[in-house]
Amino acid sequence: DAGITQSPRHKVTETGTPVTLRCHQTENHRYMYWYRQDPGHGLRLIHYSYGVKDTDKGEVSDGYSVSRSKTEDFLLTLESATSSQTSVYFCAISGRGAGANVLTFGAGSRLTVL
Protein backbone atom coordinates (compact mmCIF):
# COMPACT_ATOMS: atom_id res chain seq x y z
CA ASP A 1 0.00 0.00 0.00
CA ALA A 2 2.86 2.33 -0.78
CA GLY A 3 1.77 5.95 -1.03
CA ILE A 4 -1.58 5.62 0.70
CA THR A 5 -2.29 5.10 4.39
CA GLN A 6 -5.51 4.85 6.33
CA SER A 7 -6.06 5.54 10.01
CA PRO A 8 -7.21 4.14 12.28
CA ARG A 9 -6.97 0.59 10.96
CA HIS A 10 -9.40 -0.69 13.54
CA LYS A 11 -12.00 1.14 15.61
CA VAL A 12 -14.83 0.09 17.88
CA THR A 13 -17.34 2.75 18.82
CA GLU A 14 -20.85 3.10 20.17
CA THR A 15 -24.02 4.07 18.37
CA GLY A 16 -24.49 7.83 18.20
CA THR A 17 -20.83 8.80 18.48
CA PRO A 18 -18.99 10.71 15.75
CA VAL A 19 -16.22 8.92 13.89
CA THR A 20 -13.61 10.25 11.48
CA LEU A 21 -11.49 8.07 9.22
CA ARG A 22 -8.43 9.52 7.58
CA CYS A 23 -6.82 8.76 4.25
CA HIS A 24 -3.39 10.15 3.52
CA GLN A 25 -1.55 9.91 0.19
CA THR A 26 1.95 10.84 -0.85
CA GLU A 27 1.39 10.39 -4.62
CA ASN A 28 -0.04 13.88 -5.25
CA HIS A 29 -2.98 12.26 -7.06
CA ARG A 30 -5.97 14.43 -7.86
CA TYR A 31 -8.71 11.87 -7.27
CA MET A 32 -9.53 10.21 -3.97
CA TYR A 33 -12.39 7.85 -3.10
CA TRP A 34 -14.03 6.27 -0.08
CA TYR A 35 -15.62 2.84 -0.51
CA ARG A 36 -17.21 0.50 1.98
CA GLN A 37 -17.10 -3.27 1.66
CA ASP A 38 -19.75 -5.55 3.09
CA PRO A 39 -20.48 -9.25 2.58
CA GLY A 40 -23.00 -9.68 -0.21
CA HIS A 41 -22.58 -6.10 -1.46
CA GLY A 42 -19.02 -5.86 -2.61
CA LEU A 43 -17.35 -2.46 -2.75
CA ARG A 44 -19.71 0.51 -2.85
CA LEU A 45 -18.70 4.12 -3.41
CA ILE A 46 -19.52 6.53 -0.57
CA HIS A 47 -17.95 9.82 -1.67
CA TYR A 48 -15.16 10.91 -3.92
CA SER A 49 -13.03 13.99 -4.45
CA TYR A 50 -11.67 15.42 -7.69
CA GLY A 51 -9.60 18.15 -6.09
CA VAL A 52 -9.09 20.20 -2.97
CA LYS A 53 -12.51 21.18 -1.60
CA ASP A 54 -14.18 19.45 -4.58
CA THR A 55 -16.24 16.44 -3.56
CA ASP A 56 -19.27 14.53 -4.78
CA LYS A 57 -21.58 11.79 -3.58
CA GLY A 58 -21.42 8.13 -4.44
CA GLU A 59 -24.15 5.52 -4.32
CA VAL A 60 -24.27 5.11 -0.50
CA SER A 61 -23.54 8.61 0.83
CA ASP A 62 -26.37 8.95 3.37
CA GLY A 63 -24.98 9.34 6.90
CA TYR A 64 -21.49 10.24 5.68
CA SER A 65 -19.67 13.47 4.97
CA VAL A 66 -16.21 14.13 3.60
CA SER A 67 -13.68 16.90 3.51
CA ARG A 68 -10.53 17.56 1.57
CA SER A 69 -8.60 20.64 2.63
CA LYS A 70 -5.27 19.42 1.25
CA THR A 71 -4.34 17.29 -1.75
CA GLU A 72 -2.91 14.60 0.46
CA ASP A 73 -5.75 14.15 2.97
CA PHE A 74 -9.33 12.94 2.50
CA LEU A 75 -11.45 12.58 5.62
CA LEU A 76 -14.60 10.50 5.99
CA THR A 77 -16.89 11.46 8.88
CA LEU A 78 -19.81 9.61 10.37
CA GLU A 79 -21.64 12.33 12.29
CA SER A 80 -23.60 9.87 14.42
CA ALA A 81 -22.53 6.28 13.88
CA THR A 82 -25.15 3.55 13.50
CA SER A 83 -24.81 -0.23 13.55
CA SER A 84 -25.52 -0.33 9.81
CA GLN A 85 -22.26 1.54 9.29
CA THR A 86 -20.25 -1.35 10.69
CA SER A 87 -18.06 -2.19 7.73
CA VAL A 88 -14.59 -2.16 6.27
CA TYR A 89 -13.79 1.19 4.69
CA PHE A 90 -11.29 1.54 1.87
CA CYS A 91 -9.71 4.67 0.55
CA ALA A 92 -8.46 4.73 -3.02
CA ILE A 93 -6.50 7.19 -5.13
CA SER A 94 -6.17 7.78 -8.85
CA GLY A 95 -4.03 10.05 -10.94
CA ARG A 96 -6.44 10.20 -13.83
CA GLY A 97 -10.08 11.14 -13.95
CA ALA A 98 -11.98 11.30 -17.18
CA GLY A 99 -10.02 8.51 -18.80
CA ALA A 100 -10.07 4.90 -17.73
CA ASN A 101 -7.98 4.96 -14.61
CA VAL A 102 -6.50 2.54 -12.14
CA LEU A 103 -7.45 2.94 -8.50
CA THR A 104 -4.86 2.15 -5.87
CA PHE A 105 -6.39 1.09 -2.57
CA GLY A 106 -5.31 1.50 1.02
CA ALA A 107 -5.23 -1.37 3.49
CA GLY A 108 -8.67 -0.58 4.90
CA SER A 109 -10.18 0.59 8.18
CA ARG A 110 -12.40 -1.86 10.03
CA LEU A 111 -15.15 -0.03 11.94
CA THR A 112 -17.45 -1.73 14.42
CA VAL A 113 -20.43 0.21 15.78
CA LEU A 114 -21.95 -1.38 18.88
Residues that bind another protein (CB under 8 A): 1, 31, 33, 35, 40-45, 48, 50, 58, 90, 92, 94, 96-108
Give least dist CB 15 to another protein, A: 25
Residue among 12 and 15 whose Cβ is closer to another protein: 12
Residue 16 has, within 13 A of its CA and on its CB side, a CA count of 0
Tell me whether residue 85 or residue 109 sits nearer to another protein (CB atom). 109
In whole angstroms, the minimum distance from the beta carbon of 33 to another protein comes to 7
Residue among 62 and 100 whose Cβ is closer to another protein: 100
Which one-letter DSSP state was computed for residue 100?
Answer: -
Of the pair 85, 89, the CB lying nearest another protein is at 89
E-assigned strands of 60-108? 65-70, 73-78, 87-94, 104-105
CB of 108 to another protein, least distance (A): 5
User: b/e per residue, 61-94, with b = 16+ CB within 10 A?
Assistant: beebebebeeebebbbbbeebeeebbbbbbbbbb
The least distance separating another protein from the CB of residue 24, rounded to whole angstroms, comes to: 14
The rounded distance, in Å, linking the Cα atoms of 9 and 111 is: 8
